[in-house]
Structure 1
Amino acid sequence: MQSTANYLWLLSDVLGQGATASVYKARHKKTGDQYAVKVFNHVSYLRPYEVQMREFEMLRKLNHKNIVKLFAVEDVGTTKQKVLVMEYCAGGSLLNVLEESENAFGLSEAEFLIVLQSVVGGMNQLRENGVVHRDIKPGNIMRVVGEDGQSVYKLTDFGAARVLEDDEQFMSLYGTEEYLHPDMYERAILRKPQNKAYGVTVDLWSIGVTFYHTATGSLPFIPYGGPRKNKEMMYKITTEKPAGTIAAMQRRECGPVEWSNELPITCRLSQGLKALLVPILASILEADQAKCWGFDQFFAEANDILHRTVIHVFSLQQATMHKVYVHSYNTTNILMDAIFKQTDISPQNQEFIYEGHRLGLELTQQVQLLPKTTEERPIILMSVEHKAPIGVAYKEPEVPMFPPKFDIISDANLAKTVTSAVHQLLWITKSLMKCQDFILRGTYWMLAILKEECRRILQQVATLNLKLSFCKSAMMRIQKLYGPLPQMNPAEVSDLQVKLKLALDFLMSTSHSVQSNQKQLDLVAAEWSKSNEVHHEDNTIGKVEVLLEKVSAIHHQLRRDRLRAKLQYNEEQIHKFEKIKMGVHAKKVLMLVREDCMQKYQKLLASSKDWMRTSCDIRKQLRPFSNECVNLSQDLENYEARLNKILDLGPPRLQGEPQTMAKSLASTESSDQKCMELTIRMKHLRQEMEGVTRELQHNNMIIERLGVVKKPQGV
């Protein structure tokens, strides 16, 4: 145990070790609170005094939530060995997080964004103070879990840091080779003499490698044999990479280099975030310092990502999930353009459903006024035109087989690879199941909306049939009373009759078509019900999770075996059995994913394709029906009003020459009609007179009663 005036720690409780110092978990002697102490070794004291003091001074003036805080500088016992007492980060380093088997293919999107925000925040504080870190890497980014359960990442290890303004340069060499700028790599690792000076942008290269590692779980530039074994090829790759390239891989010795300008399919980031992140990586992973972005542009582009709102969208026909990054002040037409870039569904063909209801978007409406979306509650996107299903994009990880040979170190390393593959298979399974869930949910809502639209159109047809019947009845009545329709010439009468006949044909055709559509929707609903039942009975995720627990337990056991270096005979036999079990469990997971989850997913995807085609065809049929019903309703209202006017006014007064027999008959019928109307009015008048008479009689009775009352005296 070692201690200072106020802190103590065990030498076995080491958190990390470097070339010049070791970091231990310490406790305050009075409060028992945990701290991290950085204890410098004798190598550090071989450096110039000003270099030794540089880290103390740096930490004293830096105060930011994304930079590990310095609490004190003390001496060990009576010696002059300096100790930095710093904030203890219980979550370990970002490198520790990435080395966990579940993160072998990169962090989740939510966690990556936290890393991005934390590094940008910490680096911005450094640049405001004119500091260049010179050793940015996952091992120097610490993790703390806040009270809300959210991670916070903090920059640490400022032993290589120095004050350097944007236009200044330095000659000294610091850093870790995988994250080192190529110019510094050439001199420090390849030992080639050069007279190059380095600027603050060397930190940007390290940040680019760190972000790529965080997003994918692997380094961006990998020569055959690895960066540490093939240093010349590593330098060649980083300096000769084409513009826009963010990764490279050499798969065989002296083989060609495979360049990539995008993040791998195994990466767990959405296409929306990748599209914003890749240009940043391409611009800071630039070997030519003159072409590399400056910090101002890097901060501007990174903060642009962090200040965007995420709209979760599920494209129903394509069966794809999307995260659309837009600013909250953007209007929905910008959102729809962004959706078009990811789905290839043009804005005019986009229709939306949210929680079972149509979501109408006004083009000038701000995005912040849209309903809140999450990964579990996305907006469902439908295309007016048919779109072929795409489904979940994924790459099945390789699950290596254990060799029969007993090797503690090799077995432990292989166990980690197997466990990582099973974690990735579980992630793929969850993605496929979530996709199926959204297909079923979206289809249910779509069917309900289409059924309601069918019901509404049939209701409109019924109403229009009543209006049509009235128009036909009114025409017959007028013709019976007046002969040819007065106030209308023969051509107009003929045109009206034709239109009413066409209206009748249209309504009959529409009713038949809509009823046929309803039957098709009922068939789709029946198929949906069967698929939904199968989906909800599926327990693949639970089975894979159980197998993953068993695989993880064996992995931990093999790791413990590796630490012991040598096993007894019985322990060695158990080790071999456990290794075999791990292989069996991993095979079961593969079979579950391939033969159970994948087959059900593909079957539902095929059914969904038919459902979407049917619904798309029905929507195309219903749209003109609905429009025609509106137009026909307006026409029938106009005809109805005109016929009512003729009935109210009667035929025009006839003058001039004697009329034909038909016109005389029509006049006679008109007179009869007027007599009937006069008789009805007389009856109404008689009823009114009888009412007045009764009221007068009632008043007379009141007056008579008042008359018999004696008058008061003196009046």
Structure 2
Amino acid sequence: MQSTVNYLWKTDDVLGQGATASVYKARNKKSGELVAVKVFNNTSYLRPQEVQIREFEVLRKLSHQNIVKLFAVEEIESSKQKVLVMECCSDGSLLSLLEEPENAFGLSESEFLIMLRCVVSGMNHLRENGVVHRDIKPGNIMRLIGEDGQSIYKLTDFGAARELDDDEKFISVYGTEEYLHPDMYKRAVLKKPQQKSYGVTVDLWSIGVTFYHAATGSLPFIPFGGPRRNKEIMYKITTEKPSGAIAGIQEQENGAIQWIYELPITCRLSLGLKRQLVPILANILEVDESTCWGFDQFFAETNDILHRTIIHVFSLPQAIMHWVYIHSYNTATIFLEEVFRQTNIAPHHQEYYFEGHSYELGPNLQAHNLSRTTESCPLIMLSTEPEEPVGLRYRDPSLEFPKFFPKIDVTADCSTAKGVLSATYRTLRISRSLQQCQELILRGLYWVSKTLKSECLQILERRQAVAETLSFLQQDEMKILMLYESVAGDREVPEIKGLTELRTRLQTINEEVSRCSHSVSSEHQTTLQCIISDVGNKRSQMKEDRSIQQMEACLGKMQLLYSQFKKNRKHLRLNYNEQQIHKLDKVNLGHLAKTVLSIFQDNCVQKYLAALSAHGIRMRKAFEIRKHLKKLNRSLTACSAEISGCQECLHKALDELPQKILQGKTLSSAPTQVYLNLKHKDMLFGMQELQDQMKIVAHNLQLNNSIIQRLNGVASTPGL
């Protein structure tokens, strides 16, 4: 036990250790408050006095929620060694988080964004106060859980920090070699003297490596054998990196370097975030100071990401989830363009659903007015053009499962067990994504089918309205023609010829309307009802599927075994009984891994592929039905327009008929029909009655037009 005037701690309660100091968990003697004390070792006192006090001075100058707070500088009572009393971040560091098997392939998107926000904010405070850190790495980014349950990241370890303006340089070398700027690496690691000074942008290189590590779970620059075993190649990779590349890997001894320009498929970040992040990594991982971004541009670009709104979009035809990053003030037009960049579906072909209803996106609608989305409740995007399902892209997780060596090696076995657990976490994440994709496919198909079924009924309703109006018009045409024939007698009247032609037009319209009735067949409605029933059955089956729960149960057992492997690693040797148990644990872990892979490949993947295939067939059927309904809608619209034109012709003929009578036209001497027996007065009365009927037809046309407009609105809403 050691103590200062106000704090005490146990020397085995270590939070972290470095070259010049160790950090312990301590408590305030009066309040019991938990703190961290940084105790400097003898090596630290070999440094110049100004270097020793620099960390105290820097920390006193800084005050920010993303920088570990300095509470006091005290002395150990027994040795008079100075200690820094600081804020305790009880949840480890970013490095410890990345070393957990769950994060072996990088942080989740939400956690990465939190880390990004905290680190950028903390670095911004450093630059505002003219401080260069010089040892940015995951191990120096501490983590604690806030009251809201979210992580808070804080920069720590300012032993290498110093005050430096943007245009100033320094010549001393500090840092950790994997995260060290190549110019500093040459001097500090390769021990090659060089007359070169360094600027504040060395922190940007370290940030770039740290961000890549956090996004992928691995370092960006890896020579064969590892960075610490092949230092010359490590330097070669970092200095010869082409512009735009964000990583370089040498997979074989003396082999070529593979340059990487995108984040790997195993990375858990979405395509939307990758598109924003990769240019930042490419421009701060530049050796040449003249091409490397400065802090101003770095802060501008990272804050641009952090101030964007995330819209979750599920492309139903392609069966892919997208995270769309746009500013809250961006319009729907910009949103549609960004969706196009990710899906290759043109804006004018995009249609949307949200929570079962069509979702209109006016061109000037701003992003902050869009409905709030989540991964489980996204906007469902459809396309007016046929699209083939693409599905979720992923690397086969069976490639990630390492094999145990027969020989007992507690260190190697623990590392292998961690690899198995990491691969299991990834397999489980993929399985959940496959299941979520199937759920969204079924949900979207259900909405589409219900909409199309409703459209079928509305088309029939519209056809009925058009047919009734047409029937009235045909009756009126017949009466007007008879009146004209009674006036004309044996004389040839042009209007009669026009009315005869009009009758032919009406007959043609009638035939077209009849075809529309037959086209909206029960077959369409039956097909849609089958899709709706199938979707309902599949959703019920998915609820009964226990694949995920079975894999989670295996994972729980594997975690217990991994804990035992970590305990065994602490012992140099195992006795005979412990060795036998250790061997059994290796066998059991292998069996559990095989079980997880079997469930994944034989159940999750097979069901997903079957669902994807069925989805393609159903979408093609739905697309054809929708295409046919649109064609019928256009035909009915054309018929309605024709009917309106015919109605105007009849009005005109009826209006001109009194003039024919007043001009002395006589009636036929041998009438054979009802209207031919009418006297002059009775004929005028019949015309009046016919005009009243025409008004009814006009009213019916007006009513029909309103139905047309309403149904046109329905037909134009997204359905496929």
**Equivalent position amino acid for 1:370 in 2:** L
CA–CA distance in structure 2, aligned partners of residues 347 and 259 of structure 1? 34
Which residue in the other structure is 1:507 paired with?
A: 513
The answer to whether structure 1 residue 669 and structure 2 residue 671 are counterparts is no
Which residue in the other structure is 2:404 paired with?
A: 402
Q: Retained in 1: the 8 A contact 2:484–2:496? A: no
**Equivalent position amino acid for 1:362 in 2:** G
Higher mean Cα deviation, 15-24 or 407-416? 407-416
CA–CA distance in structure 2, aligned partners of residues 412 and 247 of structure 1? 28
Distance 1:638 1:426, change over 3 A: same
Structure 2: 5+ residue runs without aligned partners?
690-720
Which residue in the other structure is 2:127 paired with?
A: 127
Distance 1:573 1:656, change over 3 A: closer
Higher mean Cα deviation, 12-21 or 354-363? 354-363
CA–CA distance in structure 1, aligned partners of residues 345 and 391 of structure 2? 15
The alignment partner of 2:310 has SS state of strand
Distance 1:676 1:660, change over 3 A: closer
Which residue in the other structure is 1:713 paired with?
A: none
**Equivalent position amino acid for 2:7 in 1:** Y
Structure 1: 5+ residue runs without aligned partners?
681-715
CA–CA distance in structure 2, aligned partners of residues 619 and 204 of structure 1? 54
Which residue in the other structure is 1:493 paired with?
A: 499
Distance 1:589 1:150, change over 3 A: same
Which residue in the other structure is 1:323 paired with?
A: 323
Which residue in the other structure is 2:268 paired with?
A: 268
Q: Retained in 2: the 8 A contact 1:309–1:327? A: yes
**How much does 1:643 deviate?**
4.1
Q: Retained in 2: the 8 A contact 1:470–1:640? A: no
Distance 1:668 1:440, change over 3 A: same
Which residue in the other structure is 2:703 paired with?
A: none
The answer to whether structure 1 residue 419 and structure 2 residue 416 are counterparts is no
The alignment partner of 2:542 has SS state of helix
Cα-to-partner distance string for 1:337-371 (whole Å, 9 max, x where unaligned): 00000000001111111111111111111111111
Which residue in the other structure is 1:191 paired with?
A: 191
Cα-to-partner distance string for 1:192-224 (whole Å, 9 max, x where unaligned): 111111111000000000000000000001100
CA–CA distance in structure 2, aligned partners of residues 17 and 459 of structure 1? 78
Which residue in the other structure is 2:102 paired with?
A: 102
CA–CA distance in structure 2, aligned partners of residues 608 and 649 of structure 1? 61
The alignment partner of 2:35 has SS state of strand
Which residue in the other structure is 2:458 paired with?
A: 456
The alignment partner of 1:406 has SS state of coil
Higher mean Cα deviation, 360-369 or 57-66? 360-369
**How much does 1:517 deviate?**
2.4
**How much does 1:455 deviate?**
1.2
Q: Retained in 1: the 8 A contact 2:13–2:25? A: yes
The answer to whether structure 1 residue 438 and structure 2 residue 447 are counterparts is no
Match of 2:576 among 569, 577, 583: 569
CA–CA distance in structure 2, aligned partners of residues 642 and 513 of structure 1? 30
**How much does 1:488 deviate?**
7.5
Match of 2:553 among 546, 552, 561: 546
Query: Radius of gyration: which is bigger?
Result: 1
Distance 1:101 1:471, change over 3 A: same
Match of 2:625 among 612, 618, 621: 618
**Equivalent position amino acid for 1:198 in 2:** Y
Q: Retained in 2: the 8 A contact 1:224–1:250? A: yes
Which residue in the other structure is 2:10 paired with?
A: 10
CA–CA distance in structure 2, aligned partners of residues 679 and 238 of structure 1? 96
Cα-to-partner distance string for 1:146-189 (whole Å, 9 max, x where unaligned): 01101110000000000111111110000000000000001110
**How much does 1:426 deviate?**
0.3
**Equivalent position amino acid for 1:207 in 2:** I
The answer to whether structure 1 residue 308 and structure 2 residue 308 are counterparts is yes
CA–CA distance in structure 2, aligned partners of residues 265 and 364 of structure 1? 35
CA–CA distance in structure 2, aligned partners of residues 107 and 454 of structure 1? 48
CA–CA distance in structure 2, aligned partners of residues 608 and 244 of structure 1? 39
Cα-to-partner distance string for 1:372-396 (whole Å, 9 max, x where unaligned): 1111110011111111111111112
The answer to whether structure 1 residue 608 and structure 2 residue 581 are counterparts is no
CA–CA distance in structure 1, aligned partners of residues 575 and 486 of structure 2? 115
Distance 1:488 1:20, change over 3 A: farther
Report percent identity of matched pairs. Answer: 54
Q: Retained in 1: the 8 A contact 2:486–2:668? A: no
CA–CA distance in structure 2, aligned partners of residues 662 and 428 of structure 1? 92
CA–CA distance in structure 1, aligned partners of residues 626 and 454 of structure 2? 12
**Equivalent position amino acid for 1:110 in 2:** S
CA–CA distance in structure 2, aligned partners of residues 573 and 632 of structure 1? 86
Relative contact order: is structure 1 or structure 2 higher (C-alpha 8 Å, sep ≥ 6)?
A: 2
Coordinate RMSD, CA, aligned: 2.2
CA–CA distance in structure 2, aligned partners of residues 471 and 678 of structure 1? 15
**How much does 1:626 deviate?**
2.1
Higher mean Cα deviation, 470-479 or 449-458? 470-479
**How much does 1:526 deviate?**
3.7
**How much does 1:625 deviate?**
2.2
Q: Retained in 2: the 8 A contact 1:8–1:29? A: yes
CA–CA distance in structure 1, aligned partners of residues 582 and 498 of structure 2? 98
**How much does 1:636 deviate?**
2.6
Distance 1:662 1:616, change over 3 A: farther
Which residue in the other structure is 1:81 paired with?
A: 81
CA–CA distance in structure 1, aligned partners of residues 487 and 417 of structure 2? 94
Q: Retained in 1: the 8 A contact 2:481–2:499? A: no
CA–CA distance in structure 2, aligned partners of residues 367 and 170 of structure 1? 46
The alignment partner of 2:144 has SS state of strand
The answer to whether structure 1 residue 581 and structure 2 residue 583 are counterparts is no
Q: TM-score, normalised by structure 2?
A: 0.91
Which residue in the other structure is 2:59 paired with?
A: 59
Q: Retained in 1: the 8 A contact 2:477–2:499? A: no
**How much does 1:402 deviate?**
1.6
**Equivalent position amino acid for 1:548 in 2:** L
Number of aligned positions between the proteins: 680
CA–CA distance in structure 1, aligned partners of residues 688 and 455 of structure 2? 49
Which residue in the other structure is 2:162 paired with?
A: 162
Which residue in the other structure is 1:521 paired with?
A: 528
1:383-402 matches, within 5 Å, as 383-397=383-397, 398-402=400-404
**How much does 1:571 deviate?**
1.8
CA–CA distance in structure 2, aligned partners of residues 270 and 166 of structure 1? 34
CA–CA distance in structure 2, aligned partners of residues 39 and 679 of structure 1? 110
Which residue in the other structure is 1:473 paired with?
A: 475
The answer to whether structure 1 residue 176 and structure 2 residue 183 are counterparts is no
Q: TM-score, normalised by structure 1?
A: 0.92
The alignment partner of 2:678 has SS state of helix
**Equivalent position amino acid for 1:111 in 2:** E
**Equivalent position amino acid for 1:297 in 2:** Q
1:120-269 matches, within 5 Å, as 120-269=120-269
**How much does 1:456 deviate?**
1.0
CA–CA distance in structure 1, aligned partners of residues 442 and 212 of structure 2? 35
Cα-to-partner distance string for 1:78-126 (whole Å, 9 max, x where unaligned): 5331111111101110000000000000000000001110110000000
CA–CA distance in structure 2, aligned partners of residues 165 and 149 of structure 1? 37
**How much does 1:483 deviate?**
3.0
CA–CA distance in structure 2, aligned partners of residues 163 and 276 of structure 1? 31
Higher mean Cα deviation, 438-447 or 529-538? 529-538
The alignment partner of 1:652 has SS state of helix
Q: Retained in 1: the 8 A contact 2:668–2:676? A: no
Q: Retained in 2: the 8 A contact 1:481–1:669? A: no
Which residue in the other structure is 1:341 paired with?
A: 341
Higher mean Cα deviation, 560-569 or 290-299? 560-569
The alignment partner of 2:32 has SS state of coil
Which residue in the other structure is 1:630 paired with?
A: 637
**Equivalent position amino acid for 1:669 in 2:** L
The alignment partner of 2:312 has SS state of strand
